[in-house]
Structure formats: structure tokens, C-alpha cells
């Protein structure tokens, strides 16, 4: 059995289903990210794991032990919340040691564990302060420190960086990841930010409408999405989609042309064809592909430092393409450009089911 195991986990409020028979296995020491749009059930899953809400059905196992009906304090988990949940009247040291004090751990041992965690997080100099005297990043470190001192079997993070500015989010996610590797902890992390998920996770679980849409490594999720939903959710800028029809296995027609793809399908099958903006290549000597080409008018150019996003009108279809700064001299607004793509760059999904072909 995996270190954390969810078997048929469900949660309902009256007739409204939040989770629908979730099955998930999380390995020991793994950093797993639950990712998905708002309302998909990821935070609810975390709250059920923590014991903050009762399950409507199914089982939760931690290290082989059924914890489904146990109180939070009996599960050997620690949770870091989005709003930090620090006690305003307590010092940093008191906040970090509060959980241990509630378990009647001797004061000397509490002090030792708090100092160890504070040193690990670089907040030793803040121990005498109160939360109102701290920045957002410092408060987040205190919240993480409070979780660390208990050395639980599982760490749970519920969108812990969403209240921080962009620069601090990048710094904090690197710190959390380094901390995870030092502690060799089993970590389950909830976010709606795909960049966080892609950079931090050993394994990503994409959730949608209370179910698991796909799970796999970041590379699996990005380069081989198994559904139209996953393909459209992952990637920035987002994947381009075109309606299409399978002409023969491995060949599809679209409003901008006919293309080969690495897949099958049945002749006449209605599909949606996806291609990432980074995979639309400016056609020029040296990067021709055997997969044909199409042209479109450039309607807008967004410069993003080392790269640029082209807005392209191809036969009435709005597409995005990403080029390097060095290619900027080859394009201009109002002019036509020709693009090529590789067969392995196409993602083809059945139009009815949304599943990958």
C-alpha cells in the first residue's frame, strides 16, 4: 500500500457532490501537487485528508493505517494554510511551539525543536516578534516552521503562496522545495498555479469537477495531456485548438490545412486538434518539417523580453505563436507569415469525449 492512499473518497453537501469516488496513491517522500481550476475539489481533498471535515464515503490511509474517522491530532499530519492562521497575541516562538505545548511536550524539548526549525528557515531573529510585526513572507515561514516542529508523517499545503507577491512566490517555492528535500517528507500541495506545480512536483494530479482528470510527472502532463481539459489548462500561453476531422489514421484535416500526427483515429472521426504556441515554427530555411505549412496575418505582437507572442489570423482562426527575440526582425503587424509544425507537436482529442486519440 502507498504511503497515503485514498480509496473511493467522496464528499457531498446535501445533493451537491464535491468529490466523486477519488482513488489516489501517493508514495513515501513524494511531492505531489493537486492542481486544477477553482471548484474542482482539490482543497476539499486536502481538508478531508487533514480530518477538518468528515468524508461522505471512501477511506483514507496514512502509512497503512485507516485514519478516515480519526481526529486531526491523531493523524500525524501538519497543515499550512493559505492565510497562515497565526495567533496574533503570541510571539513567533509561541506560535511555532503551540502544537507541541498542546501535546504536553516538555518545555525544554519544545524550545529545542523550535530553535532547530527557526534556524532551518532563517527566522531565528524573529522569535520574539508577533505576527503583526512580520511581512507576508516571514509569516509564511513561521506557519511552515509550526508544521516542521512536529515532524509529521505528511505535510499538507493549501495554496500557501497565493497571498504573496510574484517575486516572493518564486523565492518561497524554492525554499519549500529545498525544505522538502532536506526533510525527505511526504508532501501534498494544493495550488491553482500551474507554474508552481510544474516547478515543484514529483507528480501532478489534475482535478476537474471532483474527479481526477490525469496524474503523472510534470513532463507527462505537459507533453502528453490525456484530455482536452488538461491540454487547455496546462501551458502559458495556452494551447491553440482547431476543429478537425480524421481523414485516415494519423492524418487530420483542419481549417488551416491537413497535417500528419503521431496517433490513430478512425476516418471521419470529429476531433479537436491542439498545438502549443511554442510548437508553431516560423517557416524558413533550416527548420522545414515534413508536415506542411500554413500562413496567417500577424495582428498583434506581445514582446516579453527574450521572446514574443504573435497573434495570428489564419483563415479566420485566431492562433498564438511564440518566437525568440532574434526572430522579431522577420515579422511585423499586418504582414503575413508562414508556419510549420512537427507531427509530434499535434495533440488530437476526440470531439465528443475530449480524450486523447
Q: Where are the domains of the chain?
A: 4-228, 237-350
- pLDDT for the residue 287: 55
The answer to whether 330 touches 346, Cβ cutoff 8 Å, is: no
Euclidean distance between CA atoms 215 and 339, whole angstroms: 32
Looking at residues 103-115, what average pLDDT do you find? 94
Q: Round to whole Å and give the CA distance between 257 and 10.
A: 45
Q: Is the pLDDT of residue 334 over 90?
A: yes
**pLDDT over threshold 80, residue 291:** no
Indicate if the pLDDT at residue 289 is higher than 60. no
Q: Which fold has domain 4-228?
A: Rossmann fold (3.40.50)
pLDDT in tens, 61-70: 999 999 999 9
- In degrees to the nearest 10, what's the CA dihedral of 121, 127, 132, 135? -30
H/E stretch holding 273 reads strand 270-275
Which pLDDT does position 81 carry in this prediction?
87
Question: What is the average pLDDT value for the chain, to the nearest integer?
Answer: 92
Model pLDDT, residue 234:
95
Nearest alpha carbon to residue 127 among 180, 138, 168, 182: 138
Name the DSSP class of 83.
Answer: T
- pLDDT of 286 reads 56
Architecture of domain 237-350: Beta Barrel (2.40)
4-228 against 237-350: fold identical: no
C-alpha cell at 92: 513567533
pLDDT digits (tens, 9 = 90+) for 179-227: 899 888 899 999 999 999 999 999 999 999 999 999 999 999 999 999 9
According to DSSP, the residues that pair with 352 across neighbouring strands are none
d(CA 206, CA 310): 29
The strands making up 317-324's β-sheet, listed across from edge to edge, are 281-282, 336-340, 293-304, 307-314, 317-324
**pLDDT surpasses 70 at 90:** yes
Per DSSP, the chain holds a count of helices (H) and strands (E) of 8, 20
% of the chain with per-residue pLDDT over 90 = 78
Residue 292 reports pLDDT greater than 80: no
Amino acid at each position: 500500500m502507498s504511503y497515503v492512499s485514498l480509496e473511493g473518497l467522496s464528499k457531498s453537501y446535501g445533493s451537491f457532490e464535491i468529490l466523486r469516488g477519488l482513488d489516489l496513491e501517493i508514495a513515501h517522500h513524494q511531492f505531489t501537487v493537486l492542481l486544477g481550476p477553482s471548484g474542482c475539489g482539490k482543497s476539499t481533498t486536502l481538508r478531508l485528508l487533514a480530518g477538518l471535515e468528515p468524508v461522505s464515503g471512501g477511506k483514507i490511509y496514512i502509512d497503512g493505517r485507516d485514519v478516515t474517522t480519526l481526529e486531526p491530532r491523531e493523524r500525524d499530519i501538519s497543515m499550512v494554510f493559505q492565510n497562515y492562521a497565526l495567533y496574533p497575541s503570541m510571539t513567533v516562538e509561541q506560535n511555532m511551539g503551540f502544537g507541541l505545548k498542546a501535546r504536553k511536550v516538555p518545555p525544554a524539548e519544545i524550545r529545542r525543536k523550535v530553535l532547530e526549525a527557526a534556524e532551518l528557515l532563517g527566522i531565528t531573529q524573529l522569535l520574539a516578534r508577533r505576527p503583526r510585526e512580520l511581512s507576508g513572507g516571514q509569516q509564511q515561514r513561521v506557519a511552515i516552521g509550526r508544521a516542521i516542529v512536529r515532524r509529521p508523517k505528511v505535510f499538507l499545503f493549501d495554496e500557501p503562496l497565493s497571498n504573496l507577491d510574484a517575486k516572493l512566490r518564486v523565492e518561497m517555492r524554492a525554499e519549500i522545495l529545498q525544505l522538502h528535500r532536506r526533510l525527505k517528507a511526504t508532501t501534498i500541495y494544493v495550488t491553482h498555479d500551474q507554474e508552481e506545480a510544474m516547478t515543484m512536483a514529483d507528480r501532478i494530479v489534475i482535478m476537474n469537477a471532483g474527479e481526477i482528470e490525469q496524474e503523472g510527472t510534470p513532463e507527462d502532463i505537459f507533453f502528453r495531456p490525456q484530455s482536452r481539459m488538461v491540454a487547455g489548462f496546462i501551458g502559458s500561453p495556452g494551447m491553440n485548438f482547431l476543429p478537425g476531422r480524421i481523414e485516415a489514421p494519423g492524418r487530420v484535416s483542419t481549417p488551416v490545412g491537413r497535417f500528419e500526427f503521431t496517433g490513430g483515429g478512425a476516418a471521419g472521426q470529429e476531433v479537436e486538434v491542439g498545438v502549443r504556441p511554442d510548437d508553431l515554427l516560423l517557416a524558413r530555411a533550416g527548420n522545414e518539417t515534413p508536415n506542411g505549412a500554413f500562413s496567417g496575418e500577424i495582428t498583434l505582437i506581445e514582446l516579453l523580453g527574450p521572446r514574443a507572442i504573435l497573434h495570428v489570423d489564419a483563415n479566420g482562426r485566431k492562433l498564438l505563436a511564440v518566437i525568440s527575440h532574434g526572430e522579431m526582425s522577420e515579422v511585423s503587424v499586418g504582414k503575413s507569415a508562414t508556419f510549420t509544425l512537427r507531427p509530434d507537436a499535434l495533440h488530437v482529442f476526440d470531439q465528443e469525449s475530449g480524450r486523447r486519440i
